[in-house]
Structure 1
Amino acid sequence: MLASRVARAGLRASTRVGMRTYASSAAQDVRPPVALYGVDGTYANALYTASAKTSNLENVAKALTQLGTVFKKDPKLTSILNAPTLSAADKQQIVAELQRVAGGAAADKDSILKNFLNTLAENNRLGLLESIVEKFGTLMSAHRGEIELNITSAQELDNKTIQRIERAVAKSEISQGKKLKVVTKVNPDIIGGLVVEIGDRTIDLSVSSKISKLNRALTEAV
């Protein structure tokens, strides 16, 4: 697992450095398709702009998709990247490992991702990488004219069920006629059922929601 390899890079003391914006090296005439906020949003915007400037957008998006898969498989990774005791040498090893799993030089012909990861490391922001990957995905969806369809379930859904939900939403008005980008999430807290989110619409069919409504009704009846 990547988290194990990152952990072996060592956890030694280091000093936090001030944030250097990556956006300064990005083109000013290329704007992200949607507005994102927060520090992670700022970094995602900057990476998008730099990638678009060098016509490297799809390659970087593919590399970040690879990293996103690793974060899903390795839940300890973000906490390791957040460790305040990482030394400069540790960070160099981590960046090299992240590059490797993202696809290496073939997916980063202009060193956009490498430079970006190095900037995160220097600014002690590697812990934001998972969130940045998610927000970059939002930018790419907007760039491609897609709309995210988030499906949350208590357990992993099989492909047949996911495709059935996707077809149903695609035929409805809430899809806005756009291509759907399906994102599945597992949250045991919902107990059962589904929570479907698309755009600003949420369809909560979870067992936990039904229990909550029942509890409110019982409370009001007493």
Structure 2
Amino acid sequence: MAEFATIARPYAKALFGLAQEKNQIESWLGGLKELASVVQQEKVAAFIEQPEKSASEKVEALAGLVGLSNPNLKNFVSVLAEQKRLQILPEVYAQFQDLTLALNHTKRAVIYSAYPLSDAQLKDLTADLQKRFGTNLEAVTKVDPELIGGVKVEIGDQVLDLSLQGKLNALYTAMTN
């Protein structure tokens, strides 16, 4: 996956620059989201990996599946198809989304908790994290029962582990060293 991130970065930056120039960031973000989700489907992934299909056939199939009418996005998909890199579309979408958030001085936070958080808990936790990290956050929650209790937060390359599992691991490390 790290390889996909490296490959996708220049494509995402170029597409973002063009979207910004045309003042269509939000609409292109939506189109990329649809493309990314379609490419992750098993049958579509198998189709785009077929070497006997031409790049234009793959582009037309993807455009037809998502109803892609934006000529710039279609050209972008065509470039990816010609370079045999359609499988990086989900990573391009993720990086495009990060660039959009950065433009709005916002970062994406992934909050892992052992149990689902209520709306009030999420709101309070997000407010505390915004104060701690000094930035606006767009929070996404994921349930991870292995945490046992507490939360683990990932913001970019920073990880804040306040989980019971993390504390147990730290205690184990301290006792064995």
CA distance in 2, matches of 1:64, 1:88: 22
CA distance in 1, matches of 2:67, 2:30: 9
8 Å contact kept, 1:190–1:209: yes
Question: Normalized per residue, which structure has more helix?
Answer: 2
Q: Report the alpha carbon displacement of residue 138 of structure 1 after superposing the two structures with TM.
A: 0.4
CA distance in 2, matches of 1:143, 1:121: 28
Q: Report the alpha carbon displacement of residue 176 of structure 1 after superposing the two structures with TM.
A: 2.2
Q: Report the alpha carbon displacement of residue 46 of structure 1 after superposing the two structures with TM.
A: 0.7
2:176 aligned with 1:212, yes or no?
Answer: no
CA distance in 2, matches of 1:100, 1:127: 17
CA distance in 1, matches of 2:7, 2:85: 9
User: Structure 1, residues 60-111: CA drift from partner, whole Å, max 9, x if none?
Assistant: 0121233455577x4x47964784x43333x444433433454522xx2xx1
TM norm structure 2: 0.74
2:127 aligned with 1:170, yes or no?
Answer: yes
2:104 aligned with 1:144, yes or no?
Answer: yes
Long gaps (5+) in structure 2: none
Q: Report the alpha carbon displacement of residue 190 of structure 1 after superposing the two structures with TM.
A: 4.8
2:146 aligned with 1:182, yes or no?
Answer: no
Long gaps (5+) in structure 1: 1-36
Q: Report the alpha carbon displacement of residue 55 of structure 1 after superposing the two structures with TM.
A: 2.5
2:62 aligned with 1:98, yes or no?
Answer: yes
Q: How does 1:116-135 map to 2 (within 5 A)?
A: 116-135=76-95
CA distance in 2, matches of 1:145, 1:187: 28
8 Å contact kept, 1:175–1:198: no
SS at 2:111 equivalent: strand
CA distance in 2, matches of 1:78, 1:215: 45
2:166 aligned with 1:198, yes or no?
Answer: no
2:27 aligned with 1:62, yes or no?
Answer: no
User: Residues 124, 54 of structure 1: CA spacing in aligned structure 2 closer, same or farther, 3 A cutoff?
Assistant: same
2:13 aligned with 1:45, yes or no?
Answer: yes
TM norm structure 1: 0.61
RMSD, aligned CA: 3.3
8 Å contact kept, 1:151–1:196: yes
CA distance in 1, matches of 2:97, 2:114: 23
8 Å contact kept, 2:106–2:135: no
8 Å contact kept, 1:95–1:114: yes
CA distance in 1, matches of 2:133, 2:146: 27
Letter in 1 for 2:121: R
Letter in 2 for 1:136: F
User: Structure 1, residues 163-214: CA drift from partner, whole Å, max 9, x if none?
Assistant: 5224333245225253x21233466665664311235642213344233223
Runs of 4+ displaced beyond 6 Å: none
Q: Percent same amino acid among aligned pairs?
A: 28
